[in-house]
């Protein structure tokens, strides 16, 4: 009678308690996994920010020096017997990163700050030759 009922009640409580413990363990594990994934995402975002800063610094400090450029386009489309030519020449093309006082600098603030670029173009010419010879 009463003893059996008490044992059944105790067994039901024990089962319920075991079920709650399993649920709690699963919840703690799920929260730990969420936190771990959040840290991975934050780590990835932080890495991407670092890469973006590096790229911005590289772009901001690109120094370009090219010399003796000659580009010529020839065409005989209009008249095969009278080809034409169009071209340009540059002895020197140079770009540098400058500060506000126009002194050459290495810029470390990425693209967030004002950048000053100096472009030097020496002996630039454009030509058109209506009587080009191939």
Give the pLDDT confidence score for residue 120 in this predicted structure.
Answer: 92
Cα–Cα dist 84/74, whole Å: 6
Q: Which of 48, 51, 28, 29 lies closest to 40 in space, CA to CA?
A: 48
Split the chain (134 residues) into runs of 10 and give each run's mean pLDDT.
71 79 80 73 71 80 90 83 89 89 76 78 93 74
**Helix-strand-coil percent breakdown of the chain, rounded to 5?**
45, 30, 25
Give the pLDDT confidence score for residue 66 in this predicted structure.
Answer: 92
Give the pLDDT confidence score for residue 41 in this predicted structure.
Answer: 62
Give the pLDDT confidence score for residue 53 in this predicted structure.
Answer: 79
- Tell me the H-state helices in the chain: 2-60
Q: What is the dihedral of CA 40, 43, 47, 50, to 10 degrees?
A: 160
Give the pLDDT confidence score for residue 45 in this predicted structure.
Answer: 67
Give the pLDDT confidence score for residue 100 in this predicted structure.
Answer: 83
């Amino acid at each position: 009678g009463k003893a059996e009922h008490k044992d059944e009640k105790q067994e039901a409580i024990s089962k319920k308690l075991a079920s709650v413990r399993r649920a709690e363990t699963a919840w703690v594990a799920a929260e730990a996994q969420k936190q771990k994934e959040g840290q991975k995402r934050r780590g990835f975002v932080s890495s991407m920010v670092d890469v973006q800063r590096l790229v911005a610094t590289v772009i901001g400090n690109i120094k370009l020096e090219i010399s003796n450029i000659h580009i010529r386009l020839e065409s005989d489309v209009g008249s095969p017997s009278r080809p034409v030519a169009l071209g340009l020449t540059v002895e020197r093309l140079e770009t540098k990163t400058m500060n506000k006082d126009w002194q050459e600098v290495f810029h470390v603030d990425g693209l967030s700050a004002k950048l000053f670029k100096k472009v030097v173009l020496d002996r630039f010419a454009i030509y058109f030759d209506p009587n080009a010879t191939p």
